[in-house]
Structure 1
Amino acid sequence: MPTRTTTMAATPYSPLTFKLLSLQSVAAQAYATVRHHFLATFYSSTSGSGHAPYPGDTEMSIPWLTSTLQAKGGIPHGATITSAEFLGLDGNRGLAGVMTKILVTYTLPNSKDKDDIHQVHLIMKRSANKRSSRLANIISGNAREVIFYGSDIAKELLPSTLLPKIFYTHGSIWLGEYVVVMEDIKKRRAEELVKDANNTARKPPVDINFVFGNQIWGVPDSIDRASLPQPADMLDQMFLTAAEMHAQHWNDKSLLELNWLKSTGWYKGSGRVGWEWALQAGEVAWEKGKAMSASGEFAVKYSEKVLKVMDGAFKQASWERLQNRLQDRSIPFTLTHGDFHAANMILDRSSATEAPSICMYDWSEVCIWEPTTDLGQTVISDVPVAIFKAHARTALKKYWDRLIELGAIKPEEYTFETCWRSFLRGGTEKWLWTFGILCSYPGMPANAIQYFHDQLLAFIELAGDVEEDFYEITTVICFAPPNMH
């Protein structure tokens, strides 16, 4: 295996590191408390210039919101905001972050019609305002999402329709906090759609996981299933969208200069403590999940094949093996979403002139990684087995062909069979650690675990007979193992 020479200091697992990070979170929470009292004392939410929202704020400054939306094109210049209502967020939600809908009502300048009111729909995602959350964010680096949204790399990202419109970002990895105010994609062009209700070619944006049946949770009755694309066509579009994003930074070494990206440190031989913490946490959770199943406490049945792959991967996992993988020049890397699944994607069907496009959110795991891992993750997460067995290889071939068209790869250097093998390995590896964590994750229902088990098993079987050490624990979400708390 060709490797780069890396100078790497072996950093041992250290409780001292956890104590230092805990002290950092205490200092960060103290700073945030002082900041909150200062802003509450010297700034008004209804007059003056106001101030940007922070974690824990219970209201939003109207003057600040007005100037921010006007500057970013969210509302016309001269418009007057009459209210900003915080609403709960129903439906698709992730496992981290506090998400709030904000319904902004405004009037246009010089309007003489008292009923001439307009609305803009926003989403605010922010970290929780408590020390334990700050500690978790410091360790995981979750503030990278809003740093990404504000970066040049995001502003230049292809396709240009991939990101929601961002109005405000604040992120600090040191403080373990973040805030982003963005458009509510599902309400994009809402007023236009009401006025153009007779145009059957225009439809509201829709969650892409509904196209595939939304795993075990099902599709709400409010969704017109007949209007959804065919799952195989949707899979093609997802893969082709990923090809555009991946091609833009294929083997781009300048990515390694962006230290806020997840995994940058791993590629440069640092971040061992956090990776090993996550490895231990995953193994502990997996062993607990197996015990819960064996005792009958949790109604999940694990197949022999999944047990063998999971146990083998955790047994052989090591920082040294990870470094050997990441320093292998034959394995490409690029900018990847890092949590590429259909519940993080919305199909925008609202335009009168443009074809439906995919918009992605929840970039908290944005990273440098092997490209096809993104694709394998969503197949296991979302796509019914019968569909991915019949269509995954065809969809991946379209992805590979598109990479060639965009000049990212040469077919003789990165063959389709290499791409296919990478897809099969990467998707499974993305799910190995994740599945271990979910097997005993508090509140996760048994039928959800069984669903993911069956999906993972079918994907492993798609690879056929492979080497015994084909799968490894590689990519993880960094957090401290339970015995550190």
Structure 2
Amino acid sequence: MTITSPSTYRLYSLQAATAQAYSTVRRHLLPIILPSALGLGYAPSPGDADISIQWLSKTLITAEVIPSHAKVTGVECKGLDGNRGMVGVMTRVVVIYTLDTRSSSNSNPNKDSHELHLILKKSNDGRDSRLGNIISRQCREAIFYSSDIARSLPTTLLPKVYYSHGSYWLGEYVILMEDIKQRRGHTEAGDAMELPVDLNFVFGNQIWGLPPSIDPKTLPPAAQMLEQVFITAAGIHALHWNDSRLRKMDWLKTTGWYRGADRTRWEWSVQAGSEAWIRGKARAAGDEYDVTYSEKFVKVMDESFERASWDILQRRLQDPSVPFTLSHGDFHAANMILDRSRSSTSLDLAIYDWSEVCIWEPTTELGQTIISDVAIPVFQEHVRSALRKYWEKLIELGAVKPTEYTFGTCWNHFLRGGVEKWLGMFAILSSMPGMPAKGMQFFHDQMVAFIELAEEEEGITYDITAVPCFAPKIK
């Protein structure tokens, strides 16, 4: 399959160049139009090195994050450890503020100083970054946080968001939100509870291992956590199971595909994945990249890309027997945090990075979690029982009837969807500069084990359906 749409690509390129020119002018004019000396301020934009204290103070007071009489005295932006974002950049923002203590003349000023940690997520600046965001529509996360559909989810499940801006036209987004890892809880005796922890650490952080700061003894068993992830997903999925209103939300990633539109974007992404996989196989065949792909795996990848077509996708999406719901879209453990602020023994989850939020077949993202994070012996032994808990939760919440959506159907869709979710991602990662060979070997081994799990069932084949949105460069 070869896509020949240079006019569309050039139109997007022109849009990105215009957006970059506008943003450059904006960066120079805003400090002049809204000078800090007048007590004004302006929201941060991609490419900005600093944050306006005046704007930040007003934003936090309006959101009731800090008291109305608080005075922000300093802001420091720090990089995040392990920040491996592929599209944007995340920064920890440390806000220093004081409270008005004029009523206490003997108050020690040092005791009045407070520190607040926030997370600032921004798209990268530059024409190429804007072009990528325009094509992939990464600004949907900012739109999601401001939407009614986000407000329908449990408040503890999402980070508290204090500012969100997303523009398809400019190919940019800016989100200021709470640092979930700063959530604190105390026992009845007043003792501090365990701090929130990245969920990938609970599963062992398979590629990189646990950092010295993490004590494995404080973490729940991986099998227990897997079950809780699936039950949490059931709660999200049940809210909008086969909800036709989702198809009217144009900002969701896959809305156009469900309506039979946006074909070029999907075919571009498939072509980008196919070309990346060709380069990835060549890379693996060389002597400088220590990775081995099995014949079985290469056959699945090759046949899936050879067979990929818009018609196959449409038959799947329009099939009334295949359910759909609101999906996170990138449901792996590095996008989840075990929140222990309410109880050190509870398994509450917080989920962030909703940049791929979409309509999709529900069990697909559960399979993504397994392949991305869960050790093979753990998922081989426990995944079927965990999925049954998911299915039973859907029934309990009234999303499905067991006679209409049997566990056998749920299981088969899960086995197919997990692999299909990873086909396009694996292809892109296989030739990505800087991707370590041990990472690709891990994902390969995970996918093969998952495929072998599916071989116990009959009639499961894999098609390219869910894809990361990229565009091949067209000259």
TM-score by length of 2: 0.95
Task: Please state if 1:454 is matched with 2:445.
Answer: yes
> Aligned partners of 2:175, 2:238: CA distance in 1, in Å?
27
Q: Which amino acid aligns with 2:269?
A: A
Q: 1:308 corresponds to which residue?
A: 299
Task: Please state if 1:61 is matched with 2:52.
Answer: yes
- Kept in 2, the 8 Å contact 1:100–1:123? The answer is yes
> Aligned partners of 1:376, 1:343: CA distance in 2, in Å?
15
Aligned counterpart in structure 1 of residue 157 of structure 2, from 158, 162, 169: 162
Aligned counterpart in structure 1 of residue 406 of structure 2, from 393, 412, 415: 415
Aligned counterpart in structure 1 of residue 199 of structure 2, from 208, 213, 218: 208
1:44 CA drift (Å):
2.5
Q: 1:71 corresponds to which residue?
A: 62
1:213 CA drift (Å):
1.1
**1:431-446 equivalences in 2 (<5 Å):** 431-446=422-437
Name the CA shift for 1:45/1:477 in 2 (closer, same or farther; >3 Å): farther
| Structure 1 residue matching 2:428: 3-state secondary structure | helix
Q: Which runs of 5+ in 2 are unaligned?
A: none
**1:162-241 equivalences in 2 (<5 Å):** 162-189=157-184, 199=191, 202-241=193-232
1:426 CA drift (Å):
0.5
> Aligned partners of 1:276, 1:296: CA distance in 2, in Å?
32
1:45 CA drift (Å):
3.8
Name the CA shift for 1:155/1:46 in 2 (closer, same or farther; >3 Å): farther
**1:374-385 equivalences in 2 (<5 Å):** 374-385=365-376
> Aligned partners of 2:313, 2:457: CA distance in 1, in Å?
19
> Aligned partners of 1:246, 1:91: CA distance in 2, in Å?
30
Deviates more, 1:113-122 or 1:89-98: 89-98
1:139 CA drift (Å):
0.1
Name the CA shift for 1:233/1:360 in 2 (closer, same or farther; >3 Å): same
Q: 1:6 corresponds to which residue?
A: none
> Aligned partners of 1:237, 1:77: CA distance in 2, in Å?
39
Task: Please state if 1:105 is matched with 2:100.
Answer: no
Name the CA shift for 1:188/1:411 in 2 (closer, same or farther; >3 Å): same
> Aligned partners of 1:184, 1:197: CA distance in 2, in Å?
25
Aligned counterpart in structure 1 of residue 110 of structure 2, from 115, 120, 127: 115
> Aligned partners of 1:237, 1:136: CA distance in 2, in Å?
35
Across the aligned residues of Structure 1 and Structure 2, the Cα RMSD in angstroms comes to 1.9
| Structure 2 residue matching 1:484: 3-state secondary structure | coil
Identity of aligned residues (%): 59
Q: Which amino acid aligns with 1:136?
A: G
**1:383-394 equivalences in 2 (<5 Å):** 383-394=374-385
Q: 1:4 corresponds to which residue?
A: none
> Aligned partners of 2:189, 2:283: CA distance in 1, in Å?
52
Q: Which amino acid aligns with 2:47?
A: G
Name the CA shift for 1:87/1:47 in 2 (closer, same or farther; >3 Å): farther
> Aligned partners of 1:196, 1:82: CA distance in 2, in Å?
34
Q: 1:248 corresponds to which residue?
A: 239
Q: Which amino acid aligns with 1:364?
A: S
Q: Which amino acid aligns with 2:378?
A: I
> Aligned partners of 1:464, 1:326: CA distance in 2, in Å?
24
Q: Which amino acid aligns with 1:428?
A: V
| Structure 2 residue matching 1:262: 3-state secondary structure | coil
Aligned counterpart in structure 2 of residue 359 of structure 1, from 346, 350, 359: 350
1:307 CA drift (Å):
1.0
| Structure 2 residue matching 1:115: 3-state secondary structure | helix
Task: Please state if 1:373 is matched with 2:364.
Answer: yes
Deviates more, 1:287-296 or 1:373-382: 287-296
> Aligned partners of 2:308, 2:132: CA distance in 1, in Å?
23
Q: 1:484 corresponds to which residue?
A: 474
Aligned counterpart in structure 1 of residue 130 of structure 2, from 126, 130, 134: 134
1:13 CA drift (Å):
4.0
Name the CA shift for 1:295/1:100 in 2 (closer, same or farther; >3 Å): same
Task: Please state if 1:405 is matched with 2:400.
Answer: no
1:383 CA drift (Å):
0.1
Q: Which amino acid aligns with 2:279?
A: K
Deviates more, 1:71-80 or 1:462-471: 462-471
1:350 CA drift (Å):
1.9
- Kept in 2, the 8 Å contact 1:45–1:60? The answer is no
| Structure 2 residue matching 1:51: 3-state secondary structure | coil
Cα deviations by residue, 1:56-106 (Å, 9 ceiling, x for unpaired): 111111111111111112112211111111111112532220111100111
| Structure 2 residue matching 1:168: 3-state secondary structure | strand
> Aligned partners of 1:113, 1:228: CA distance in 2, in Å?
40
Q: Which amino acid aligns with 1:167?
A: Y
Task: Please state if 1:265 is matched with 2:245.
Answer: no
- Kept in 2, the 8 Å contact 1:138–1:174? The answer is yes
- Kept in 2, the 8 Å contact 1:337–1:367? The answer is yes
1:324 CA drift (Å):
0.7
TM-score by length of 1: 0.93
- Kept in 1, the 8 Å contact 2:454–2:460? The answer is no
| Structure 2 residue matching 1:396: 3-state secondary structure | helix
Q: 2:19 corresponds to which residue?
A: 28
Task: Please state if 1:285 is matched with 2:294.
Answer: no
- Kept in 2, the 8 Å contact 1:105–1:118? The answer is yes
| Structure 2 residue matching 1:226: 3-state secondary structure | helix
Name the CA shift for 1:353/1:99 in 2 (closer, same or farther; >3 Å): closer
Cα deviations by residue, 1:219-258 (Å, 9 ceiling, x for unpaired): 1101121101110011011111100000000000000110
Name the CA shift for 1:448/1:354 in 2 (closer, same or farther; >3 Å): closer
Aligned length: 469
1:297 CA drift (Å):
3.2
1:204 CA drift (Å):
0.6
Q: Which amino acid aligns with 2:145?
A: Y
Q: Which amino acid aligns with 1:226?
A: K
| Structure 2 residue matching 1:84: 3-state secondary structure | strand
